[in-house]
Structure 1
Amino acid sequence: MLLFFAYMSQEFIQEPLIEAEHAKTGLINPHAGYHSFAILYLFFTISCLLITPIVELITAKWSMVLGFVAYVFFQVGFAYLNSVYLYTTSALLGVGASFLWVGQGKYLTENCTGKTIERNTALTWLIFKVSLLGGGIFLFFMFQNTTIADMVQTGEYKNFVYLFCAISSLGCLNTVFLPQSAHIPDKKEVTFFQTLEATFILMRQPPMLLLSIIFLYTGFSRSFWIAIYPTCIKFTSRLGGNTSKLLAISCIATGIGQILAGALFSVVGKRARLLGKDWICVIACVIHLSTFATICLFFPSDAPLHPTENIGFFEPSVYVAIASSGLLGFGDAVIQTQVYSYLCDGYSEESSHAFALFKFYSAISSTVAFFISKYFTLTGHLVLYGTFSVLSAITAVTAQKMYFHKKQHFLQEKDTTSSKPIKIQIQESGSTISSPVYSFNANVIKQEN
């Protein structure tokens, strides 16, 4: 919560802030914010496939601490904006973020039981998203009587950069004092390359291939609500004279949507399984599709690219903009909590591998989204994301029916006779993966009785 209060507040205004710095000095590319995001997620993508052995070696807790340090180094650079430091620390942050998120997923899995998995994944998401709400409130008062451009002109924004760095550092210190996991699976005597091999084997298996579509969509979804849609609000001048302030309100609305989703599932907990993870994902995708259609109707198509006086099919509305922010946050949180539930349930003994692949696919789509941001109009973005939203809904239903229909989380459970988790087994003769329905090796797929 401490880290992302600071980081997401800065991230939310990153592209408009850099655009204002370009207007002031001309020393940095006006789209350097998008470039930074693309570099970050490119290195994040690569790192997620390679860091699993290191996470296993240094443990989940210290992986998170290592990630925190990278975030602090990145944030410091905004006090003295220049392309070299921005792009270098964006790459460093991509690597650090992979340690943070894979470590967090592993730490969560090692501290859950079958009775607490739904509640704890939702609570994790709830605490995480309180940071977004807090950041939005902070930005609202920050831009109460000024704009991003004014703060860049006076250099006042640097004071907030220093504050954000201090808060992130405090979060890092807090993480150092987290207890070690309550349950750590028995370590197998495997080499670095065998651990990497296990990740790639898992990547090729049908359950993970199905989930990869949902993973890709989570990356597109996050890229849209964290950077592209806020930029649309900032650049749509017909929304009012101080769109910087409106940007902060949008951040608050997104945070409220995320928190409501987390609170809902933390209360509902394991009763959510009666509806099923698949249909919960379908509902979230329908919410997003409706929101995408609304945004397309009320925002000008060139809004992600530059300040514009244009309109969509209808006059831009502040109320529609804020409501859409809330719905984007709500739907995203619902999908993310269900992804965590899928992985903690199905891959409890291979959590670092599974979460690494989740973040790998999510990072790929985020990299694509930010790379095309300076070329795609709003309509192009929405068509792409809407397509993946539909595919994710179909995939969720298919994956649940074929592979994830079990009702138990297996870590720390004594009775596993009703079904078995998906497991990686590395042997001298080769590596295999087994699931409740199928067992796999590189060449053979056979039905088990």
Structure 2
Amino acid sequence: MAIDQGTKNVLRLSISFLLLFFAYMSQEYIQEPLIEEKHKTGGNIDPHAGYHSFAITYFFFTLSCLFVAPIIDKISAKWGMVLRFSAYIAFQYGFIHMNTYYVYITSASLGVGGAFIWVGQGKYLTENCTSETIERNIALTWFIFKFCLLGGGIFLYVLFYNQKMNEFLESGDYKTFVYICCSISLLAAINTAFLPQSVYVPERKKHETFAKTLKATFKIMRESPMLLLVSIFLYTGFSRSFWIAIYPTCIKFTPALGDNTAKLLAMSGIATGIGQIVAGGIFSVLGKRVRILGKDMIVVIACVLHLICFVLIYLFFPYDAPLHPTQNVGTFEPNAYIAIFCSGLLGFGDAIIQTQVYSFLCDGYSEESSHAFALFKFYSAISSTIAFFVSKYFTLAGHLVLYGVFAILSAITTVLAQRLYFHKTRHLNLNLSLFN
């Protein structure tokens, strides 16, 4: 069966994201434990700079999301992404010396760059999908993209197979690691610069100023379907913050899991990647047949899986595991197999939720995709900022209660959104006057 040009474009875009986030997330996954170790050896960096960096990144990401849509509409999704890849490379390079101020400044730049990249991705995807290919292409994007986690986990496993985090720093291997990450990110930028023109570009509205396009974003923000999706938008931010930084830190700070928790951390990344890839693979195969079950029911299943995972983590991890290395235990003795299983389950559930959110927005806001994805990333970034801000104060129970509440809210509001609005029409704004 021939592959249409839109799908080919989506595949090319997916390769760029695979390369960029293989490099970035490999570094991100060990960021806080690495900085903590550097501080112990007398490095010029705050021990919690990893958490602070995440908070700064998502704070600026939050602010930027509301303003990037008009810019991307002007310069195109492709060039919006390309121009901001430099922010990722600059941030990664800063780990050569790990200076607190450099990390914080580049974290802010990274937040702005991330807004361009993710909103641009959503717009480019929408412009290369039809109603027949949307579920398949989104799942395919996720399937390819999430090999970055699997590849990054294997990469870290090899790095830490015979050495612990302090040995990794002392040997100077981490500098080689940073150079490799920067080079791969540069390849991603080059590949994105040569992406083909989108296939299904909507007709540009005449004389639309920056102020008008910004006003359109705030108009969509107030619409009932978008308001119902706010809970799941927020939950995607909480979920990602947990599996990318807080949960890996729990593993690293729980020595009862084994002698080399850095190696276990890499195995956790592999498991999360496998979970994400399996979910993406399932939905890329099922494609539009997913509609039979319904996007809302799929989200409910994913939220239930995450709630089960939260219970297991609460039972098997010490209450203070997110904060510092601890000899405490949870209700049961920490178990490496349970830890890895939870990593996979977190990745699997997160991939399901993310792909369904993309499907909701591409279906419902095909002509305003940049505005809709900007709002999605805006709310997601708010919750990530909150999660990282409170991370050095919250015990494990505090995190899990917060995320559990939003998982339940997401399931409820998604069902309402699907039943009230998203089943009525492919493009919501054609009929919104009926509901407002």
Structures share fold, TM-score greater than 0.5: yes
CA distance in 1, matches of 2:343, 2:52: 24
Q: 1:304 aligns with which of 300, 322, 344?
A: 322
CA distance in 1, matches of 2:121, 2:43: 39
CA deviations 1:88-144 (Å, max 9, x no partner) are 000000000000000000000000011100000001111110111000000000001
Superposition pairs of residues 102-121 of structure 1, within 5 angstroms: 102-121=119-138
Residues 178 and 269 of structure 1: CA distance in aligned 2, closer, same or farther (over 3 Å): same
CA distance in 1, matches of 2:124, 2:86: 18
Tell me, yes or no, if the aligned pair for 1:24 and 1:153 is still in contact at 8 Å.
no
Give the letter aligned to residue 362 of structure 2.
C
CA distance in 2, matches of 1:228, 1:420: 37
RMSD of aligned residue pairs (Cα, Å): 1.0
Q: For residue 116 of structure 2, what is the aligned residue in structure 1?
A: 99
Q: For residue 78 of structure 1, what is the aligned residue in structure 2?
A: 95
Q: Which moved more, 1:23-32 or 1:103-112?
A: 23-32
Residues 116 and 318 of structure 1: CA distance in aligned 2, closer, same or farther (over 3 Å): same
Say how many residue pairs are matched: 418
Q: For residue 207 of structure 1, what is the aligned residue in structure 2?
A: 225
Structure 1 residue 155: Cα displacement: 2.5
SS of structure 2 residue aligned to 1:303: coil
CA distance in 2, matches of 1:318, 1:204: 46
CA distance in 1, matches of 2:270, 2:44: 32
Structure 1 residue 262: Cα displacement: 0.1
CA distance in 2, matches of 1:142, 1:420: 47
Q: For residue 11 of structure 1, what is the aligned residue in structure 2?
A: 28
Matched, 1:341 2:356: no
Structure 1 residue 67: Cα displacement: 2.6
Q: For residue 73 of structure 2, what is the aligned residue in structure 1?
A: 56
Which has the larger share of helix? 2
Structure 1 residue 154: Cα displacement: 2.9
Give the letter aligned to residue 382 of structure 1.
L
Tell me, yes or no, if the aligned pair for 1:218 and 1:362 is still in contact at 8 Å.
yes
CA distance in 2, matches of 1:165, 1:10: 10
SS of structure 2 residue aligned to 1:113: coil
Matched, 1:194 2:212: yes
Q: 1:278 aligns with which of 296, 299, 321?
A: 296
Q: 1:314 aligns with which of 315, 320, 332?
A: 332
Tell me, yes or no, if the aligned pair for 1:34 and 1:371 is still in contact at 8 Å.
yes
Q: For residue 325 of structure 1, what is the aligned residue in structure 2?
A: 343
Superposition pairs of residues 27-426 of structure 1, within 5 angstroms: 27-188=44-205, 189-406=207-424, 419=425, 421-423=427-429
CA distance in 2, matches of 1:149, 1:264: 39
Give the letter aligned to residue 179 of structure 1.
P
CA distance in 2, matches of 1:101, 1:290: 29
Structure 1 residue 147: Cα displacement: 1.2
CA deviations 1:165-205 (Å, max 9, x no partner) are 00110111111111011121111121111110000111011
Tell me, yes or no, if the aligned pair for 2:422 and 2:428 is still in contact at 8 Å.
no
TM-score by length of 1: 0.92
CA distance in 1, matches of 2:433, 2:401: 36
Q: Which moved more, 1:39-48 or 1:25-34?
A: 25-34
CA deviations 1:385-409 (Å, max 9, x no partner) are 0000000000110000011014xxx
CA distance in 2, matches of 1:360, 1:149: 37
Structure 1 residue 278: Cα displacement: 0.2
SS of structure 1 residue aligned to 2:76: helix
CA deviations 1:354-384 (Å, max 9, x no partner) are 0000000000000000000000000000000
CA deviations 1:26-54 (Å, max 9, x no partner) are 52110000000000000000000011110
CA distance in 1, matches of 2:426, 2:78: 27
CA deviations 1:203-242 (Å, max 9, x no partner) are 0111101111100000000000000000000000100110
Give the letter aligned to residue 325 of structure 2.
P
CA deviations 1:58-110 (Å, max 9, x no partner) are 10111111232211111010011101110000000000000000000000000
SS of structure 1 residue aligned to 2:277: helix
Structure 1: tracts of 5 or more residues without a match: 407-418, 424-433
Structure 1 residue 17: Cα displacement: 0.3
CA distance in 2, matches of 1:27, 1:67: 28
SS of structure 1 residue aligned to 2:44: coil
Give the letter aligned to residue 421 of structure 2.
Y
Tell me, yes or no, if the aligned pair for 2:36 and 2:47 is still in contact at 8 Å.
yes
CA distance in 2, matches of 1:348, 1:160: 40
Q: For residue 3 of structure 2, what is the aligned residue in structure 1?
A: none
CA distance in 2, matches of 1:281, 1:59: 31
TM-score by length of 2: 0.95
Segments of 4+ moved more than 3 angstroms: 437-440
Structure 1 residue 439: Cα displacement: 4.3
The percentage of counterpart residues that share the same residue type is 68
CA distance in 1, matches of 2:211, 2:166: 50
Structure 2: tracts of 5 or more residues without a match: 1-17
CA distance in 2, matches of 1:44, 1:225: 19
SS of structure 2 residue aligned to 1:104: helix
